[in-house]
Amino acid sequence: MREEFIVTKNYSQLYEAIQSLKNLPRTAPKMGLGYGHFGLGKTFALEKLAAQENAILLRAAQTWSKTSVLTELCEELGVDTTGHSPVKYRRVLESLIAGPKIIIVDEIDALLRSTKFEVLEMFRDFHDETGIVLFFTGMEEANRKLKKHKHFYSRIVEFVEFHIIHKIDIEAFCSLSDVHIENEVIDYFHKKFPNLRQIKVMLLRLERYCETNDIDIVDMKTFKMSGAEYGDRK
Amino acid sequence: MATGNKNSTIIPQTLRQKVWNYIRRNRNFVIGNVMAITGIKYGNLRDMLKTYELAGYIEAISKSKPLTSNRYTLIKCTGVRVPIHDKRKELLYDPNLDIEVEIKRTPSILKILSFMDKSPISKEEINKSTMLAHATNVKCYAKLKELNMITRISPIQKNSNGHVLFNVDLTEIEEFKKKVANREIDIKAIF
CATH among 2.40.50.140, 2.60.120.380, 3.40.50.300, 3.10.20.600 for A9-161: 3.40.50.300
Q: ipTM score of the complex?
A: 0.85
* Mean pLDDT within B39-58: 93
A132-179 confidence digits (pLDDT tens): 999 999 998 999 999 988 889 999 999 999 998 899 999 999 999 989
Domain with CATH 3.40.50.300 in chain A: 9-161
pLDDT digits (tens, 9 = 90+) for B132-178: 777 888 889 998 988 889 998 888 888 888 888 999 999 988 888 88
Cβ-proximal residues to B135 (8 Å cutoff; 6+ apart), any chain:
none
> Would you state the pLDDT for residue B5?
47
B15-102 maps to CATH 1.10.3470: no
Q: Which residue of B has its CA nearest to A89?
A: B3
DSSP B7: T
Q: Tell me the pLDDT band of A61, cut-offs 50, 70 and 90.
A: very high
B92 with B55: CB under 8 angstroms? yes
Topology, domain B108-190 = Arc Repressor Mutant, subunit A (1.10.10)
Using the beta-carbon criterion (under 8 Å), do A80 and B8 form an inter-chain contact? yes
Among A47, A54, A78, the residue with its CB nearest the CB of B37 is A47
Chain B residues whose beta carbon lies within 8 Å of the beta carbon of residue A47: 22, 25-26, 37
Q: Which residues contact B118 (CB under 8 A, 6 or more apart)?
A: B168
Which site among B17, B18, B21 would you substitute to test the A interface, given the most A Cβ atoms closer than 10 Å to its Cβ?
B21
B71 bridge partner residues: B30, B62
User: Scanning every residue of chain A, which has its alpha carbon at the shortest distance from the alpha carbon of B34?
Assistant: A3
Please give the single-letter amino acid code of residue B50.
Answer: K
Instruction: Please tell me the pTM assigned to this model.
Output: 0.79
Cα(A40)–Cα(A169) distance, integer angstroms: 12
Contact list, A80 vs chain B (CB under 8 Å): 5-8
Confidence band (pLDDT; 50, 70, 90) for B96? very high
Question: Mean of the pLDDT values across residues B127-133?
Answer: 79
CA B157 to chain centre: 32
Taking only the tens place, the pLDDT of each residue in A6-54 is 899 999 999 999 999 999 998 899 999 999 988 788 999 999 999 999 9
Neighbouring C-alpha atoms within 13 Å toward the C-beta of A68: 12
CATH code 1.10.10.10 region(s) in chain B: 108-190
Contact B38 A51 (CB under 8 A): yes
Question: What would the pLDDT profile of A62-74 be if each residue is shown by its tens digit?
Answer: 999 999 999 999 9
